[in-house]
Structures are given as C-alpha cells and as structure tokens.
Structure 1
Amino acid sequence: MTATIAPSAPKPVEPGAAPPVEERKSLSRWIPAVAILGVWIVLWSFTNGTSTLALPGTSRTGLHDSLTEFQNDLLAGRSTNPVMQFTNAIADALRSAVEWLQRMVVLPNFPRPVPEVGWLGIVAFATYVGLLVANWRIALLVAASFLSFGVFGYWQDSLDLLIITGISVLLAVLIGLPLGVLIGTNRRANQVVTPFLDFMQTMPTFVYLLPIVLFFGIGPSAAVVSTLIYALPPLIRIAGFGIREVSATTVEATDSAGQTYWQRLLKVQVPMARKTIIVGLNQTTLAALSMATLAAFVNGPGLGKPVLAGLRINDVGTAFVPGALIVVMAVMLDRTTTAASERAEKVARGGGGNPRVRQGLIIGGGVATLVAIYLSRTYVSLAEFPTYTIGDRVASATSDGVDWFTDTFGGATEWVKDLITNQFLNRTQALLADSPWWLAFAAIAALAFVFGGVRAFISTVVCLTGIWYFDLWHDAMITLNMTLVATVLVMILAIVFGVWMARDRRVDVGIRPILDAGQTIPPFVYLIPVLALFGPSRFTAITAGIVYAAPAAIKLVADGVKAVSPTTIEAGRSTGQTTWQEITKVQLPMAKGSIVLATNQGLLYVLAMTVIGGLVGAGALGYDVVYGFARSEAWGKGLAAGITIVLLGVMLDRITRAAAEVRRDDGPTTRRAFNVRLPIGPPR
C-alpha cells in the first residue's frame, strides 16, 4: 500500500534568489555532517586496521559458543520444558495439517497410490474459486497458472508452496483481523501494538528462521510459523488503518442512532473499510509467499527447495524454472486478491455486472468442478500429472543462454562490477570496517544526532552497543557498507525515474506496470538472474538488492513529486524558471517527505536482500547466518548474526524516520506515511 505524501507548498524560488529558511536549515545539517566525516577520515588514516574486532574465517567467540550451549540445553530438555512442550504440540498440529492436505492433493507416495483429488480436480477447483471471488478473466489466469506448474514439471512443489502459504494466510486472517479491529478502534491499543509491528517489519526475512527452528524444529511446521509471523504485520496495520480512516461524521451519525459498539463495527466501520482490508490481505498473501519460499532453508516444502539447490551449485538453469513458477504464483495471487478487492467495491456500490449471467456461470462452473473432481478420483491419468514436461528443456536452454551471454558480454559485466567495487565498495568499506570499532561507533552516533536529533542518537547508541556486544562488529560494518552503497544507487535511480514519471504521464503509464510486477516478485528469486550476470560475489547481493528495492523507492518518489501542487509549479514557471530549476528548487524540496520515506524503505529492502545474498558470496552477516544453519556447532554465531542484523535494521530505520520528523515543515503527512509502512517483502 503506497503511502501518499502531500507536503505543504512553499513559495516558488525565483532564479538567483537566496534559498528559503527551510533549505538553509537542511544545508546547515550537512555542514557538521561533512565535518564529522572529515575528522573520521583523518583519524582513520592514523588508526587504519587496528581494533576492528575482525574474526578470522569461521571463528567463534565465547559468547557464540554460550548461545550454542543455550540451544543444546533447550533441545535436551525438550520433553520436560513446558515452553518446548507447548511449541512441540503446535508443531505437531501444523505438521499434521500440512501432511493431510498433501495427501489430499499432492503426493502419490502416501498409502494411496494416487492423491485423493487429482490434478484435474485441483485445477478445476482453483479456477472456480477465481471465478467466485473475482471474474472469468481471473479464473482463466488461475487455470493457466496451475497448468504451468504441471507442464514445467513442478506440480508437487508448487502445491506444497501453496499449502504452506494458504495455511499461513488463513491463520494470519484469524489472528490479524481481530488485532486490526482492535488497533483501529482503540487508540491505546494502537500505541502499544504499533512498536511491535514496526519491529517485526524491520526484521529481514532471513532472521526469522533461526529462533523458529529452535522452538519448532525444521520442516513444514517451521515453514508455517515463520511465514505466519512474517505475514501478520501488513494485515494488522492496514486493516487498522482502514478502520481508523472511516469518516468520523459517519461514526457519529451511527452513534446518534443508538447503535451499539458491535453494530457500529459490523455494519459501518468494517464494510466501509472493506477495500482497504482486502488490500491488507493482498499484502499479507504476497508476504506469506515470499517467506514460504525462503523457508526452504529450514526444509520447508515448496518451490524454494529447487531454487536453493540451483543457487548452491551456481546452476542458473536449475534455479530458473522453479523461480519463474514462483513469479507466476505471485502474479496469480496478487491479481486474484486485487480483483477480489475491486469486485467487493463494485458489489458494495450496487454494481458487479449482470447478476443472472454471473449466477449461471457460478452454477455451471460448480457442476463442472464437481465432475472434474469425480473424474480425477476415478482415472489415474487425471489424478497424476503427466510425467512428460518441458521444464528440463527450458532449464537446459536457460543454461546455454546464460553461458552465451557471459561469454559474449562477460567483459562488460566484469567492468561494471570492478568499477563499482573498486571505486565505491572498497573505499567505503575501508572507512567503515577498517576503522577502530570505537571510532566508527562515535562517528555513526554523531551522524545520527546530526540528521535525526536526540531520539535517533539514543537509538543508534543502543543498537551499536548491541552490535559490539554480540562480537560481530567487523561483519556488521561490511554489511552496513554494502547496504549504504546499494541504497545510494537505489535513490539515484528513484530520483531520476521518479521525477521522469511524475513529469511525463506516458512514461508513468509505461513504467508503473513494470514496477508493480517487480514488487510482486519474492526477493529470493532476484538472486537467480543477477547470479547469472555477475557470479557469486558481494556485488551480486548488492545488485539484487538494488533491483529489489528500486520499484518501491521509484514509486514513492514519483507519487511525492506528482503530488506537488500544479498552482505552485505554474507560479514558478511564471518567474522564468528553467526545467532544472523547477525540479531542484520546487518539486524535489516539496517531495522531501516522500524521498525520505523512499530512503527508509530502500535501506530496509536492501538490507534484507544483502543478508539473503550470503548464499551467493556476499559474506559478512548473511554468510554468518547461513553458516549457523549449516553447522550445529555454529548455531550461536548464526543467532548472534541474526540479532546483529535486526539491530542494524532498527538503527537505520530509526535514523531515517527521525530525519523525516526533524523536517517539521513536511507536516504530519510525513509522519503518517511512516505509520502506514510498507512490509519488507513483495509490496504493492
């Protein structure tokens, strides 16, 4: 859900005139920032390479081993510890639910030789659901999507992924909707719950998995729990926002009619917030798919497994086909929930097309679905998807195409990689990671104070202290460096394309659908094409982070610039401003709130992808987490890395949010935009 920024309109600046007070204040913040950087560089030149707290290779510290011992103690007392007994019971229930659904629709190697409902019945039922909740176009999209799962040879993995996603979304609705209603109708509850939602949405997806594995084991149960926790915040936050946005006049009118709390909620607030709630469901569904894919790390079933297998052996062809099917599934779920939202709105307004025609389609579709289910339970050929598929040929062709591309353009891609690595990454990493820890600590805290004030300074000091305590300072600085460099590149793209889209409607119409599609793709999938281009390296993770974060940042900047009052722009033009002056003196300053919000989102998106990039040679904290998954004796180091990543995310989030609030001239709209935060994951 895109938060719209509508900042107050300052007076246009005449060419050659002195900058306004607001701009001078912004410039004054950069003066001490540059001074801090200058002092940092001077001190670094004398202290370079000392007290960096760097751990050689896969070394661990006493704290890391203590955390591993904590895990071992919990596992040893699994049968007597009340908490572990409770989580074991939940894990067993979730595992049983997943296996029951698998026996119904997926696996032919259970006691029955074929599934309870075969592929024809599943395709017919899914198509019918698309017709019920949306329209015949969505029904055709759903049918084509399901058929593609089988045609490309991943029928079982695809349905496994849908099962994990579906169970998680169902539980998220059962838990999230009541909480959304609570925070939407109770201000105190909103104040209590919102910080937890902020924290959950700040955590990169990868970090959820380590503690989940400890309490729920590996396999389907861990996949469902991690997916549920990750997918909850969007629904809670957006549903609460929709209920709060119901007109106060309407609510007062219902109160004057003598309605009770429940009558007002069920007959007025929830119906009027229906469209927003379904948008929240869309966000939750896509977030669930993203996390369910990543749950392959904890042996979660689904398409994430073959993608992970391909990435581990650097075989792009192997990873490409399941990755493409994940995109197909994401587009299908996104379009279905979006169309359901639009249909709900039309029905509420008395539209929705010819009711007789729709009734006929529903009845006819229902009969056809029952017949298809019966046939799929009767004939083996309609139960098990045909074994002849085109997936292997597509994978082989993809590998050949990647080999041709790298042989032909490998020099150009290597040049780009070396340019950014040598001119940006290595230079900034030398300053961040090779400075003594106390110097980097003081400099980062001072910069946080300059840009965000006392609140950002306190949050930064607390987070940096935690990073130091968990004995991964050097790796944290390398991860921070990759995140900052990638975010700078993301914001360059966001400003260039955002301004272009805002100033030219044709460009906006052409680019926005591409950005929408990009925001639908789970982050795991972005690694596949980037790995093909640049091979395993930290640059691969950074490039994937840029591609992943750019769509959200571009759209936020475009919407902010587009919201600038046309009257103000015309007033500036009347003074003889050039196009460059109009952009830099009027549009960008007035869209400052949306630019800061885009920076905030870009930082968090890039951090999430940089961590996942530990799989493709990014090193640092991402590798530490992966290493903790792979080696039981390194579990403590993996957990420490996960906590450190969270601290980095919280620190970056608080600095950018505080920087936005310092700019009080942007008004409450900026703060409100941060309260309707985009989730880390496939946003819309």
Structure 2
Amino acid sequence: MGAPPRLKRGWAVGATIFVWLGGWALLRGTATLELGGAELTGFHQWLNGVRDDFDAARDTSFFFQYVIGGISTAIDTVVTFFQELLSQPAFPRPVPEIGWLGVVALLTWLAYALAAWRSALLVFVSLLLFGSLGYWTDSIDLLIVTAVAVAICVVIGLPTGIWMARSKRATAALTPVLDLMQTMPAFAYLAPLALFFGIGPASAVVTTLIYALPPLVRITAHGIRTVAPTTLEASRSLGTTDVQALRKVQLPMAKRTIIVGVNQCMMAALSMATIAALINGPGLGQPVAQALQSLDIGSAFVSGIAIVIMAIMLDRTTTAASQRAEKEARAGRAGGRRRWVVLGAGGAVALVLVYVSRTYLWAAEFPERPDLGTPLSDGVTQLTDWLVTTLENVTNSLKDLVTYALINPLESLLADTPWWLMGLVILAFAYLLGGWRPTAISAVCLLVILGTGLWNETMKTLTTTLVATLIVILSALVVGVWMGRNHRADTAIRPLLDALQTIPPFVYLVPALALFSTSRFTAIVAAVAYGVPIATKLIADGIRGVSPTSVEAARAAGTTAWQMISKVQLPMARAAVVLASNQGLLYVLSMVVIGGLVGGGGLGYLVVAGFSQAQLFGKGLAAGIAITALGIMLDRIAQYAAARYGRA
C-alpha cells in the first residue's frame, strides 16, 4: 500500500523547498530581471506610444470623439450639474443653487423616507460634521461621484443580475468576467481607464462603477434564484407570464437581498471613489492624498475621519432601508398613516429650507464656526509627534524586527532567485496546493508578468503580500478561535470588525503612516489592519460551525482546551481557515498596492509614479497589468486549495 496522498504532498512540498533553497544559494542574484527606477523596456515605451496615440486620437478618431467623448461628456455634465446644484458655485451665483441648509434638509428627509428616523438623525449629524470638519464641499462632491456611479450600477446591474438568475448560459459567460473584476486590485483600474477617459470626474465615475458593479450583479442574481420554487409554481399555476412572475413575485420577494446588493455596491463605490482622487476625481480622496504626500498627518486624519463618517452613514442607512423593505414585505403594506403624515410635513419643511438656502447667504455657505477640523488636526499632529517621540524605540524595534527577520530574507529568496527557477517553484506550489487548473492559470499569469518586464518588482510586491497575509492569518486564528469558542468575546469584538470593514482602504494608511513613517512596513501594517476583519470573521464562523456532537464527544474523552482547538475544531474548520486565507490574501494585496503611496515600493509605487511622471506612464500601466496577473494567480491558487481542503 502506498503512502497517503497528504503524506506524499508533504514530501513533495519539502522537496520543492529544498530545491528552491539550493538553487537560490547557488544562483543568487543572477537572472533576476531587476530594472532601474527610470529604466524602461520596449513594452513600456510602446505603452507610452499608445498613450500618445490615444491623446492624438481624441481629436481625430470617430470612436473617441463620439463614443468615448460622448460618454465622458454625459458623465461630466451630470456630475457638474449636481455639483452646481449642491456643492460648487453655479455661475453667475457665487454659491450652489441649493445651499448647505437645503442639502441637509433634503438628504435628512430622504433618509427618513428610505429607512427610519434613526437613519435620518445619523444623516443629519453626519452632514453637520462634514461642514464642521471643514470638508463640506469635498464631502458632497464625494457623495455625488458615489451616487452617480451607484445609479449607473443599478441601471446596468439589476437587469444583468436578473438575466444571470434566469439563464445558465449568461451565468457561465459572465461569472469569469465578474471574477476578474473582483480579483483586480483597485489600483489596477486607474491607468487603463485614464488612458481612455483621461483624468477628471468622468474617469473617476467609470472607474468607480466598474469596480462596484460585480457585488450588485452577484447579489441580485442570488436574490432572484433563492425565491422559493413552490411560490413560483403557485404563481405560474394562476397563469402568470414570466415577466409578471418576475415583477410581482421574484423582485418583491428578493427586494431585501437586492438592497443588500446596493449596500455592498455603494460601499465598494465609496472605497473606489476615494482612490480615484489619483486621477483627479473630486471628493475627499483629494485632501487625503495631498496630506499623505506631504506627510501632514493631522489633515490626513481629519479628512480620513470625514470619509469614515460617510462610510458609516451610507452603510447604516442602506442597511436600515433593507430591514425596512423586509418588514414592509412581511406586513404587506408600505407604512402607517403616521409615517405618511411625517413624510409630508418633513417634505414641506425641507422645501422651505431649500428656498431659504437659495435666498440667504448664511444658509448657502456653510458657517466657519464651529470649526472642529483645525483644532482636531492640530491636536492629532501634536499627539502624533508625542507618540513618535515616546514610542520611537518601540515602533523602530518592531519595524526592524519584521523587516530583518521576515521581509528582507523573504524578499531576497523571492527576488534574488533566478526568474526561471522562481517561476517553476510557483508552478510547483500551485500544483501541490490546487492541482492542474490553477497551475495552468498560474503559468499564463507568470508569462504576463514576465512580459511586463516587471518580474523583480512583482516578486517584491509578492513578498510584502505574503508577510502581511501571514500576520493576518496568525492574528485571525487567535482572535477568530476565541470568538468562535466564546459568545461574549464574539458579541464584543464583532461590531468592531464590522466597523473596520466599513472603512475605505485609503484611510488605513493614515494611522500606519503616523506611527511608522514611510516604509514597506507601513504598507504591511495598513494591509494587516484591512485584512484582519474579514479573515477573523470567517474563522470565527468556521469554529462555531463545527458539529456540536463532535465537540461533545471530544469533551467526553477528556480533551483539554488546547487539544480541542488543535485536534478537533481547527481540523474540522479547515475549509473556513483556507477561505479566510484566500480572502485575507486578496484584501492584503489590494492594500499593499495602495501602500505605494506611503513607501511600500514594488508595483504600487510604479502605478503612482506613472500618474505623476509622464515618461513613466507606460511603466505604471505595465505595473497595473502585473498587479492584475498576480492577483488572479494568487486568487485561483487559494480558491482551488480551499475547494480541495473543503472536500477533504
């Protein structure tokens, strides 16, 4: 009888590592394909030429003038209209058509109409905080970009989700496209879309809607599919057509799920809209990016807080709207008489305040007092200086420990191994973890990375990704196991994890930069903070989902707490742990790339450099392609590994 498959795989992994280390020791530093900072390959120069051709074609090509140009003009017109209506001066008026008082009244009334009075109160307080922090115009601009992108997503995503729910062919055709869109890190969208749409509001909206579309499509399709077949059969027995069944049965019953999809779409849109500041997208991303580049931690913190407030406001309001939709569906009515009276009275008050804001300057321009932003920024700057001085030894020791014990050795192993040997090692791990399919996909992705001319930079990005993922998984295992075994811990920690998941990734850079200045470790800290919540929740749910019968049997056998965790719960929750590793890795990769803004280096730095230096645009675009290939490769290896361990 041969050795068990798991034992054979263990020997194969060991042999692969042995060959890898031996090859690295003998051939270290040869054929690493390292490229200088300003050095360009033929592919990069060709991409620069493509950029120049695109710029020239904007004035001569029918496609660019009337198709791309038409789309850009339409989006710019819509965004400009809402900006002049709500946030920017509407010439010849020195103020918007509707001043701050009218905007607050209208959005508060809308929150009550969609959700409930608690959501209206949250929106009211949030809007006042935007102005008091000194970011009224930027906040409303970000809301406009997010809302326009989400509206287009709804117009495209709902029919697409319905189509996927009703057609297996559509599902088979569109699922790989949605997978690709969700696997691509946010940074990878910027350069190619800037190539087509230039920089500005149109490019920001298109980038945002493409990034935010997949969750809405998937969740809509899921909601339509999960309508009970018996309900559909009953409606068909009454002679309803497919269109009537969709309109009167499936959509009403899937309403709550669809609103959850809109919620996820909106959060993704907000996240991307802040990053789109790098392509001159309007909104709060602009002051955050400027503050990060000038190392102004106080300003970055205040504008980051405004983004967090907006994220919480949008998340809680759409969640409350979802819960209200479910409650109304169960009750079979759209609210009582009292609610309609309040809606009518509130609408009348809102219209009066809109008129006042159009008439009086004090109601049009947000007042300069109270000014919460300046003292908060100054206080944060002083606190940061004190923390840096007080904790300098601790933070530097931690940074040096991780850098010299983990980052530098692993980077040397990945980046200093000859490219052909490193490629073979990656393919071997892909096969051992997931089988032939991820190996084939990895081979294609590695060829793409090789073609970009950025192999060495990709290996450096892979280094920071793996180090951050390792820290994420270790942290998630400790906290997730604790939450899964202790209901009180779960009750206390889960709201914090939910709140952390609400925060757009841009904001995580601020505290990391404050504590550790610009370095690769700073990007890793931000990536860990971004990846830990999702991985922890998945592991906690996996531990809690272990069969109570198995747990009781283990207890009856006299196992200790550690034996219960290591020999029963973790092995039986292995699929959840692998899934947590997959999701944590993807979250980390997207954040590590954004970490190029704070000294993270690697591909993320090249993407940023491509926007700031015209001669490096091609190199930055190639970096975006490499990021996408790396993300797809890691995602497929992790997914197939999760499926294999799940079956086991």
- Is the TM value for this pair above 0.5? yes
User: Could you say which residue in structure 2 is the equivalent of 1:479?
Assistant: 461
1:222-301 counterparts in 2 under 5 A? 222-301=203-282
CA distance in structure 1 between the partners assigned to 2:631 and 2:307 by the alignment: 27
Letter in 2 for 1:577: T
1:52 to 32, 41, 60: 32
CA distance in structure 2 between the partners assigned to 1:342 and 1:25 by the alignment: 48
Q: Is the 8 A contact 2:86 2:96 kept in 1?
A: yes
Deviations 1:454-498 (A, max 9, x none): 001101111111111110000000000110111111011111111
Deviations 1:128-183 (A, max 9, x none): 01111111111000000000111111110000000000100000000000001011
CA shift at 1:24, angstroms? 6.1
User: Could you say which residue in structure 1 is the equivalent of 2:425?
Assistant: 443
Deviations 1:427-475 (A, max 9, x none): 1111100001011011111111101100011011111111111100000
User: Could you say which residue in structure 2 is the equivalent of 1:670?
Assistant: none
Matched, 1:492 2:474: yes
User: Could you say which residue in structure 2 is the equivalent of 1:161?
Assistant: 142
User: Could you say which residue in structure 2 is the equivalent of 1:434?
Assistant: 416
Matched, 1:37 2:17: yes
Question: Structure 1 residues 408, 249: CA separation in 2 closer, same or farther (over 3 Å shift)?
Answer: same
Deviations 1:500-539 (A, max 9, x none): 1011110000000000000000000100000000000011
CA shift at 1:82, angstroms? 3.1
1:47-126 counterparts in 2 under 5 A? 47-85=27-65, 86-108=67-89, 110-126=91-107
User: Could you say which residue in structure 1 is the equivalent of 2:350?
Assistant: 369
Q: Is the 8 A contact 2:574 2:646 kept in 1?
A: no
* 4+ runs deviating over 6 angstroms: 351-354
Matched, 1:530 2:512: yes
Question: Match of 1:349, SS?
Answer: helix
Letter in 2 for 1:506: R
Q: Is the 8 A contact 1:624 1:641 kept in 2?
A: yes
CA distance in structure 2 between the partners assigned to 1:419 and 1:351 by the alignment: 61
1:142 to 123, 129, 132: 123
Unaligned 5+ segments in structure 2 are: none
With 246-255 and 612-621 compared, the bigger mean Cα shift is at 246-255
User: Could you say which residue in structure 2 is the equivalent of 1:586?
Assistant: 568
User: Could you say which residue in structure 1 is the equivalent of 2:542?
Assistant: 560
CA distance in structure 2 between the partners assigned to 1:664 and 1:527 by the alignment: 35
Question: Structure 1 residues 295, 162: CA separation in 2 closer, same or farther (over 3 Å shift)?
Answer: same
Q: Is the 8 A contact 1:607 1:649 kept in 2?
A: yes
With 218-227 and 582-591 compared, the bigger mean Cα shift is at 582-591
Question: Match of 2:524, SS?
Answer: helix
Letter in 1 for 2:56: A
Letter in 2 for 1:30: G
User: Could you say which residue in structure 2 is the equivalent of 1:303?
Assistant: 284
CA distance in structure 2 between the partners assigned to 1:425 and 1:638 by the alignment: 24
User: Could you say which residue in structure 2 is the equivalent of 1:397?
Assistant: 379
Letter in 2 for 1:529: P
CA distance in structure 2 between the partners assigned to 1:352 and 1:290 by the alignment: 35
CA shift at 1:352, angstroms? 8.3
CA shift at 1:353, angstroms? 10
Matched, 1:380 2:361: yes
With 79-88 and 61-70 compared, the bigger mean Cα shift is at 79-88
Q: Is the 8 A contact 1:88 1:215 kept in 2?
A: no
CA shift at 1:662, angstroms? 2.0
CA distance in structure 2 between the partners assigned to 1:26 and 1:380 by the alignment: 74
Letter in 1 for 2:134: G
CA distance in structure 1 between the partners assigned to 2:334 and 2:558 by the alignment: 51
Letter in 2 for 1:47: L
Q: Is the 8 A contact 2:90 2:97 kept in 1?
A: no
CA distance in structure 2 between the partners assigned to 1:398 and 1:47 by the alignment: 49
Matched, 1:628 2:628: no
Deviations 1:66-89 (A, max 9, x none): 111011112112223233221111
Letter in 2 for 1:103: E
Matched, 1:152 2:129: no
2:389 to 392, 400, 407: 407
User: Could you say which residue in structure 1 is the equivalent of 2:496?
Assistant: 514
With 75-84 and 376-385 compared, the bigger mean Cα shift is at 75-84
CA shift at 1:354, angstroms? 7.3
Letter in 1 for 2:549: T
1:215 to 175, 182, 196: 196
CA shift at 1:30, angstroms? 2.9
CA shift at 1:118, angstroms? 0.7
Question: Structure 1 residues 468, 353: CA separation in 2 closer, same or farther (over 3 Å shift)?
Answer: closer
Question: Structure 1 residues 444, 382: CA separation in 2 closer, same or farther (over 3 Å shift)?
Answer: same
Q: Is the 8 A contact 1:610 1:622 kept in 2?
A: yes
User: Could you say which residue in structure 2 is the equivalent of 1:677?
Assistant: none
User: Could you say which residue in structure 2 is the equivalent of 1:17?
Assistant: none
Q: TM-score, normalised by structure 1?
A: 0.92
CA distance in structure 2 between the partners assigned to 1:103 and 1:565 by the alignment: 59
User: Could you say which residue in structure 2 is the equivalent of 1:617?
Assistant: 599
User: Could you say which residue in structure 2 is the equivalent of 1:425?
Assistant: 407
Identify which of structures 1 and 2 has the higher relative contact order when contacts are C-alpha pairs closer than 8 Å and 6+ apart: 1
Aligned length: 645
Unaligned 5+ segments in structure 1 are: 1-20, 667-684
CA shift at 1:274, angstroms? 1.4
With 385-394 and 175-184 compared, the bigger mean Cα shift is at 385-394
User: Could you say which residue in structure 2 is the equivalent of 1:674?
Assistant: none
1:347-362 counterparts in 2 under 5 A? 347-350=328-331, 355-362=336-343
Deviations 1:240-263 (A, max 9, x none): 111112222222332333221111
Question: Match of 1:58, SS?
Answer: coil
CA shift at 1:351, angstroms? 7.7
Q: Is the 8 A contact 1:108 1:114 kept in 2?
A: yes
Question: Structure 1 residues 235, 208: CA separation in 2 closer, same or farther (over 3 Å shift)?
Answer: same
Letter in 1 for 2:342: L
CA shift at 1:345, angstroms? 0.5
Question: Structure 1 residues 170, 585: CA separation in 2 closer, same or farther (over 3 Å shift)?
Answer: same
Question: Match of 2:435, SS?
Answer: helix
CA shift at 1:27, angstroms? 5.0
CA distance in structure 2 between the partners assigned to 1:263 and 1:25 by the alignment: 53
Letter in 2 for 1:583: I
Question: Match of 1:111, SS?
Answer: coil
